[in-house]
Amino acid sequence: MDFRPICRPVVFIASHDMAEQISKATKLFPASVPKFDLSHLKPVIGPTSILSAYGEEWRSLRKRFNHGFSSQHLLTLIPTMADRTIVFARQLDSLSKVGNKFSLVSLSMHLTFDIIGSVIMDVDLNAQDVDPSQRSELVRSFTELLDAYWDDQIHIPWWLKIRTVLRRRRLGRRVERILKSIIRRKYEEQQANLDKNHGQQLSILSLSLQNTKTLSPDILDLTCDQLKTFLLAGHDTPSATIGWIFYELSRNPRALSAVRSELDDIFGPQTEPEGIYAQLVAPGGADLVCRMLYIMAVIKETLRLHTPASTARYSAAGTGLTVRTPTGDELCVDDMVVYNCSAIIHRDPAIYGDTADHFVPERWLSSTQSLSRSDQYASTMPVPCGAWRLFERGPRGCIGQEFASIEIRVLIAMIARRYEFTKVGLGELVLTEEDRRPILGDDGRYKVRSHMYNVSSQTPYPLEQEDDGWVWILTNVRVDATDYSQAGGRYDDDGGGYW
Give the nearer residue to ligand HEM in terms of CB position, either 238 or 273: 238
Strand-pair partners of 482: 420
Task: Name which position in 168, 396, 418, 478 contacts ligand HEM (CB under 6 A).
Answer: 396
45 is a contact residue toward ligand HEM (CB under 6 A)? no
238 is a contact residue toward ligand HEM (CB under 6 A)? yes
390 is a contact residue toward ligand HEM (CB under 6 A)? yes
User: Could you please report the per-residue DSSP string of 188-220?
Assistant: HHHHHTTTTTTTS---HHHHHHTT-SS--HHHH
Least distance from ligand HEM to the Cβ atom of residue 184, Å: 21
Give the nearer residue to ligand HEM in terms of CB position, either 51 or 86: 51
46 is a contact residue toward ligand HEM (CB under 6 A)? no
Question: Which residue stretch of 229-237, 278-286, 326-334, 443-451 sits at the interface with ligand HEM (rule: CB under 6 A)?
Answer: 229-237
Phi/psi at 376 (5° precision): -60, -25
393 is a contact residue toward ligand HEM (CB under 6 A)? no
Least distance from ligand HEM to the Cβ atom of residue 75, Å: 15
67 is a contact residue toward ligand HEM (CB under 6 A)? no
Which H/E stretch holds residue 11? strand 10-13
229 is a contact residue toward ligand HEM (CB under 6 A)? yes
Task: Name which position in 43, 68, 117, 400 contacts ligand HEM (CB under 6 A).
Answer: 400
* Distance (Å, whole) CA 421 – CA 248: 10
Give the nearer residue to ligand HEM in terms of CB position, either 176 or 236: 236
Q: Do 456 and 471 touch, CB atoms closer than 8 A?
A: yes
Residue 398 marked ligand-binding = yes
Least distance from ligand HEM to the Cβ atom of residue 390, Å: 5
**Residues present in the chain in total:** 499
* Distance (Å, whole) CA 192 – CA 347: 53
84 is a contact residue toward ligand HEM (CB under 6 A)? no
203 is a contact residue toward ligand HEM (CB under 6 A)? no
Least distance from ligand HEM to the Cβ atom of residue 299, Å: 8
Give the nearer residue to ligand HEM in terms of CB position, either 109 or 233: 233
Least distance from ligand HEM to the Cβ atom of residue 282, Å: 25
Least distance from ligand HEM to the Cβ atom of residue 438, Å: 28
422 is a contact residue toward ligand HEM (CB under 6 A)? no
- Provide the phi-psi class of 373: left if phi over 0, else alpha when psi is between -120 and 50, else beta: beta
For the chain, the helix, strand and coil percentages under 3-state DSSP, each to the nearest 5: 50, 10, 40
Question: Which residue stretch of 165-173, 186-194, 279-287, 396-404 sits at the interface with ligand HEM (rule: CB under 6 A)?
Answer: 396-404
User: Could you please report the per-residue DSSP string of 373-425?
Assistant: S-GGGS-SSPPPGGG--TT--STTS-TTHHHHHHHHHHHHHHHTTTEEEEE-S
User: Looking only at residues 22 through 41 of this chain, which bind ligand HEM when binding is defined by CB under 6 A?
Assistant: 35
* Distance (Å, whole) CA 18 – CA 438: 41
Phi/psi at 407 (5° precision): -65, -35
For 78, 155, 284, 314, the CA distances from 289, given in Å and listed in that order, are 9, 44, 9, 39
* Distance (Å, whole) CA 125 – CA 146: 17
Least distance from ligand HEM to the Cβ atom of residue 19, Å: 11
Q: Do 22 and 323 touch, CB atoms closer than 8 A?
A: yes
Which pairing describes strands 337-340 and 10-13: parallel, antiparallel, or unpaired?
Answer: parallel
For 132, 165, 414, the CA distances from 195, given in Å and listed in that order, are 38, 46, 36
68 is a contact residue toward ligand HEM (CB under 6 A)? no
Question: Which residue stretch of 253-261, 373-381, 386-394, 480-488 sits at the interface with ligand HEM (rule: CB under 6 A)?
Answer: 386-394
Give the nearer residue to ligand HEM in terms of CB position, either 405 or 422: 405
Least distance from ligand HEM to the Cβ atom of residue 352, Å: 19
Least distance from ligand HEM to the Cβ atom of residue 445, Å: 22
Least distance from ligand HEM to the Cβ atom of residue 294, Å: 18
Q: Classify residue 12 by burial, with Cβ atoms within 10 Å: 0-12, 13-18, 19+.
A: exposed
Query: Does residue 260 sit in helix, strand or coil?
Result: helix
Residue nearest to ligand HEM (CB): 400
For 53, 67, 409, the CA distances from 207, given in Å and listed in that order, are 21, 8, 24
Question: Which residue stretch of 303-311, 315-323, 379-387, 457-465 sits at the interface with ligand HEM (rule: CB under 6 A)?
Answer: 303-311
The binding track of 463-482 with respect to ligand HEM, each residue x by CB under 6 A or -, is: -------x------------
Cα-Cα-Cα-Cα dihedral sign, residues 264, 266, 270, 271: negative
Annotated binding-site positions = 398
Binding residues for heme: 398
Binding residues for ligand HEM (CB under 6 A): 35, 50-51, 62, 116, 229-230, 233-234, 237-238, 241, 308-311, 390-392, 396, 398-400, 403-404, 470
